[in-house]
Amino acid sequence: MTKLIFTLLMACAVWLNAAAENYPYRSDCLWVTVPDHADWLYKKCERALVEIQFYKYGIPRDAEVEYETADDMMEADGHGTVRLKDGRALLDMGTRKTPGFRDLRLTAKVDGKTYSHHIKVGFSVDEIRPCVKEPADFTEFWRKNIEEMRQTPLTYTKEKAPEYCTDKIDCYLVKVNLNRQKQAVYAYLFYPKNAAKGSCPAVLCPPGAGIKTIKEPLRHKYYAENGCIRMEMEIHGLDPRLPASMFNDISKAFNGKENGYLANGIDSRDRYYMKRVYLALVRCLDLLTGLPEWDGRNLVVQGGSQGGALAIVAAALDNRVTHCIVNHPALADMAAYAEGHTGGYPHFNKTAGILTGNNINTLAYYDVVNFARHVKADTYMTWGYNDNTCPPTTSYAVWNTLACPKEALITPINEHWTSDDTEHGQMEWMLKRLR
């Protein structure tokens, strides 16, 4: 009963405070799903039982629920219906003979409306291993490209961004030149006001996926308020001051299903779009370590989703990085679908013809799992089990590959989001471990 009450309270908190698929904001209806293992984890061949509950206005409803079961992100392999009694029913999710996750997908029609929910549980998750293999020349490929990039001297522009300055912090917009082709990325650079020379840890924050402006530049202002330099970057070379309508137009034109940047040039490791992006991370770290205010010791990368992937890439490519903070990393085990297994965002299995010979070879040079095994920095990683964007299977593939000092915050109920408290806690984790 205690476990049930706790889970219900957790669910209600998320329902009230987060806009997520499982818990829509201000919904009249609430699902509660309670696995018979409190940590949502099982051993291989162990059966998982889940109590499902459905409430409308907080009152249990005896709806008929259609359900299907499936491996994580895969097509359903079982289905049925169950009638709730006093708003409750017990369902058998089945099991797995191999390490990974199962997904229970629920649908109920109540008062003429359809409500959906799902829950994932894991089996022998510490045994999850990626499908992707590291190319023999992986390290040499990236060493040569970094060396070539650095043949072009680092240059950047820097101008005050008063709209993001406060009584405690100063903000600057920087444009960082990347190469001889004069490609660039933009970033907002936050400082503690009147920062002394050699006093500040530096934090690089790459963005989540998409073609968009730098999201809410002040949302992590507490890093600068606590003595850090923080760099919020974009990856496409688009001035974040452009109107939102222009970003929308650019995204529609150049980030569709068939022409998205994550598939651009994918047939060649040398022409792939993300090559410039990965190298830009090192360029931005070069900038941060050249600032007189940097303390000369602590260099941190932090991000979520695509940004989490890029944080791992940066930590692997640059041994100056001391701390790596990651939420549900994307770009992990991307080609696993080609072998019939769960793969990571951007889920290339949904686009015909992507996961083929040359493309798969290219992806191996850019897959986050192959970077993870080269990370030496202290790493803090968090992920949720109900995530359908960066599924828990691929998060575990990354986590189990990391061989560095590492800590995890696992939040089973979460989908593709983290709470403000979780993100603030990441900064606190970092501050306690500064050198």
Q: What is the pLDDT of residues 333-380, one digit of tens each?
A: 999 999 999 999 999 999 999 999 999 999 999 999 999 999 999 999
Annotation says 37 is catalytic = no
Annotation says 323 is catalytic = no
What integer pLDDT is reported at residue 2 of this predicted model? 37
For residues 96-123, give the mean pLDDT: 97
What integer pLDDT is reported at residue 256 of this predicted model? 82
Any idea which residue has 């932090």 for tokens? 302
Confidence (pTM): 0.94
Task: Report the candidate in 59, 71, 36 with the shortest Cα–Cα distance to residue 388.
Answer: 71
Q: Element (H or E) spanning 104, and its range? A: strand 100-110
Residue tagged active-site, from 295, 333, 387, 395: 387
For residues 300-317, give the mean pLDDT: 98
pLDDT digits (tens, 9 = 90+) for 234-250: 999 999 999 999 999 99
Task: Report the candidate in 72, 89, 80 with the shortest Cα–Cα distance to residue 123.
Answer: 72
Any idea which residue has 């095994």 for tokens? 373
For residues 106-135, give the mean pLDDT: 97
Residue tagged active-site, from 295, 305, 318, 341: 305
**Residue 194, token pair as written in the block:** 């009147």
For residues 129-148, give the mean pLDDT: 98
Residue tagged active-site, from 118, 220, 328, 416: 416
What integer pLDDT is reported at residue 8 of this predicted model? 39
Spell out the residues 6+ positions from residue 399 whose beta carbon is closer than 8 angstroms to its own.
381, 383, 406, 408
pLDDT digits (tens, 9 = 90+) for 164-190: 999 999 999 999 999 999 999 999 999
For residues 85-101, give the mean pLDDT: 97
Task: Report the candidate in 318, 319, 314 with the shortest Cα–Cα distance to residue 331.
Answer: 314
Task: Report the candidate in 239, 244, 209 with the shortest Cα–Cα distance to residue 330.
Answer: 209
Q: HSE (CB half, 13 Å, CA atoms) of 354? A: 21
Task: Report the candidate in 240, 217, 233 with the shortest Cα–Cα distance to residue 170.
Answer: 217
What integer pLDDT is reported at residue 13 of this predicted model? 38
Residue 16 has pLDDT above 70, yes or no: no
Residue 73 has pLDDT above 70, yes or no: yes
**107-145 as b/e: b if 16+ CB within 10 A:** bbebeeeebebbbbbbbbbeebebbbebbeebeeebeeb
Spell out the residues 6+ positions from residue 46 whose beta carbon is closer than 8 angstroms to its own.
95, 123
Q: What is the chain's mean pLDDT, rounded?
A: 94
The rounded distance, in Å, linking the Cα atoms of 139 and 365 is 9
What integer pLDDT is reported at residue 258 of this predicted model? 73
Annotation says 199 is catalytic = no
Residue 395 has pLDDT above 90, yes or no: yes
**For the purposes of burial, counting CB atoms within 10 Å of the CB of 352, is it exposed (0-12), middle (13-18) or buried (19 or more)?**
exposed
Residue 15's pLDDT band (boundaries 50, 70, 90)?
very low
Residue 263's pLDDT band (boundaries 50, 70, 90)?
very high
Domains of the chain: 2-127 (2.60.40.1930), 138-432 (3.40.50.1820)
Residue 17 has pLDDT above 60, yes or no: no
Torsion of CA 185, 188, 190, 195, to 10 degrees: 60
The rounded distance, in Å, linking the Cα atoms of 400 and 379 is 12
Q: Provide φ and ψ at 105, rounded to 5°.
A: -110, 125
For residues 276-300, give the mean pLDDT: 98
Which amino acid, one-letter code, is at 114? T
Structural contact between residues 206 and 303, judged by C-beta atoms closer than 8 angstroms: yes
The rounded distance, in Å, linking the Cα atoms of 266 and 20 is 32
Residue 230's pLDDT band (boundaries 50, 70, 90)?
very high
